[in-house]
Amino acid sequence: MKIRDLLKPESVIINADVDSKKEAIEKLIDLHDKAGNISDKDAYTKGILAREEESTTAVGEGIAIPHAKSESVVKPGLTAMTVPGGIDYDAPDGKPSNILFMIAAPLDGDLHLEVLARLMTLLMDLDLRGRLLTADSGDKFLEELNKAEAAKYPDEAEEKAQAAEDVPAAQAQDGKRKYQLLAVTACPTGIAHTYMAAEALEKKAEEMGMTIKVETNGSGGAKNILTKEEIAAADGIIVAADKNVSMDRFAGKKLVMTKVSDGINKPGELIEKVMSKDAVIYKKASDVSDFIGGGDLGEKEGAGHQVYKHLMNGVSHMLPFVIGGGIMIALAFLIDTIAGAPRDANFGTYTAAAAFFKDVGGVAFGFMMPVLAGFIAESIADRPGLAVGFVGGSIATLGCTFGAPAGDAAAVSGFLGALLAGFAGGYIVILLRKVFAWLPETIERMMPVLIIPLLGITLMGIFMCAINPAVGALNTGLSHGLKSMSGSSEILLGCIVAGMMAIDMGGPFNKAAYVFGVGMLATGGYNIMAAVMIGGMVPPIAIALSTTFFKNRWTPGEIKSGPVNYVMGLCFITEGAIPYAAADPLRVIPSCIVGSAIAGGISMAMGCTLMAPHGGIFVFLTVGNVAGYLLALAAGAVAGMLMLALMKKKQTREAA
């Protein structure tokens, strides 16, 4: 959809008088409301703020494009403003943002991605940005955008005709255009930076008199996909990506791999490097991580961040199996409880309905360790690591040893073993690639289908059989130690894991506590999972209570958004507290940690258990001692509220 179809002159504010990100968002939403683009201003605001919580929508170079898909959008629309002095919008380059667009998109489809890509393509033009900033009216602003869009996106027939004229006969191959350069751009969210890098590479290649095709690996999927013929005919390939992309297809080609930001800021250097005679020839045997960071073109990714990224790749793929399977198993126990079944070894399978949920949920839950290990290995070594990691994760659940290849219950290494298997699997594959790098190309083609699976799985089997006894003993000792905890030590553990859920509200500490709780489900640590979930529920509820009963501690906007946190907290969505924590971290975060720790400690003290790994209030029927759990939740939330009241300063009339 064209920009001119979405943006009207009356939806543009020229030289807006705003001093903050919050104020800018409010004014842009007001414009949507006046234009009739949205039916529920509060619901749309919630969507915009939720998107900002994920990561800033400022893309740098003075541009910010907040956006949201919402059921409140009755018709797609754009609003815009210019801010001469700029505002702090948490841009990744640290620069103030002075041109802002806001996209309102309906829930169905990916209109926001199409508009975002088109906007970023247009705004890569420095001259256009200058003209927009000097526009003296909404009509002039829109006129400049329309001219740029018409020039960049001519009618399809004209574009095809022009393209045919521009392609020399020497570049035609079987009726298809031959590209000297190919590129892939991708960023973690797959939105703005993906398309900014693509546009920068295209413009620089055109300036240098070269032809290029760029594949954008965005959140809506890969677009403009490179074909086998194009890859075979290309002189060089640039991969500017901050996430994993398919690399095996580029084997044997000159290749530069770097950060997506280098694609935006250093397109000329990248093109010169990949076209030089010293460019690296990419082989499947190469360690992809050697390329990340671009060598002399940029800093290498930190080892700690790499480990965290690989781990989160495994965890993110594992969670659907854990949550779906875990809740089904919890429902099986609930059904048998209602039916009055005895709590013996067959509990959860006495009734037909319970048996169905238990068996199907057990199948899903059983994939937890293999999927975790497999996708950690895949993150490290690309697709060839997947099978090796999966096998390692399965061996961890069986407890295979040299003395008992079929499995030994005492040697089941569980979650810890699966973690080790994932990282070991990735680096085993990388090692095999390096060891067999000397193979001729005809034999090298057998690497991903024969050599790596055969040798990789064999080496993984040897590795896991060697470590399973020790890790299994450690795992068993940890499980027994946790189960034997009582009194103050058990309460302290509940305080720690629950408090960790509130430290960064979705970050590494939060994820570490959650993953620990999920891992303990497999060994019967249901009290730990209960403490973990209640620790994640407290921060939003504490903030909602504070905005309800201590309004003079909050701004009008924070008070207005406060009630939403009741729902988010009850649904176990800790991230609802992030905007409040970001605005006043020194007071909000400690208050939330204290509230969560109190709730976790009380939950442990009252013997509360939880067999489901997620769900919030929707799985309370599966909680052991639900009355005690509700009491713990209320106590933690009230404690957090009172601490916020003590720590936060009263808002002045001007601030409010």
Q: Which residues pair with 186 in a beta bridge?
A: 241
- What are the φ/ψ torsions at residue 78 (nearest 5 degrees)? -130, 145
Measured CA to CA, the distance from residue 270 to residue 262 in angstroms comes to 8
Output the DSSP codes for 573-624: -GGGGHHHHHHSHHHHHHHHHHHHHHHHHHHHHTT-B--SSS-GGGGGGGSB
Q: Which residues pair with 609 in a beta bridge?
A: 624
Task: Check residue 38 and report its DSSP letter.
Answer: B
Integer angstrom CA distances of residue 577 from 219, 389, 495, 549, 591: 25, 36, 19, 17, 11
Nearest alpha carbon to residue 471 among 519, 411, 527: 411
Q: Which residues pair with 181 in a beta bridge?
A: 212, 236
Integer angstrom CA distances of residue 56 from 189, 193, 526, 541: 11, 12, 36, 24
Burial of 438 (C-beta count, 10 Å sphere; 0-12/13-18/19+): exposed
Measured CA to CA, the distance from residue 139 to residue 523 in angstroms comes to 66
Measured CA to CA, the distance from residue 295 to residue 289 in angstroms comes to 10
What is the helix (H) or strand (E) element at residue 466, kind and residue range?
helix 452-484
Structure tokens at 294: 């671009």
Measured CA to CA, the distance from residue 235 to residue 250 in angstroms comes to 11
| Contact between residue 545 and residue 511 where contact means Cβ atoms under 8 Å apart | no
What is the helix (H) or strand (E) element at residue 67, kind and residue range?
strand 67-69
Q: Could you list the active site residues?
A: 67, 187
Q: Which residues pair with 54 in a beta bridge?
A: none
Give percent helix, percent strand, percent coil of the chain, each to the nearest 5.
Answer: 60, 10, 25
Give the HSE-up count for residue 64: Cα atoms under 13 Å, Cβ half-sphere: 31
| Contact between residue 209 and residue 168 where contact means Cβ atoms under 8 Å apart | no
Measured CA to CA, the distance from residue 196 to residue 202 in angstroms comes to 10
Nearest alpha carbon to residue 542 among 645, 615, 618: 645
CA 449, 454, 458: angle at the middle one, nearest 5?
A: 155
Nearest alpha carbon to residue 530 among 470, 559, 572: 572
- Name, in order, each residue with C-beta under 8 angstroms of 504's C-beta and a sequence gap of 6 or more: 510
Task: Check residue 408 and report its DSSP letter.
Answer: -
Whose tokens are 């915009």? That residue is: 48
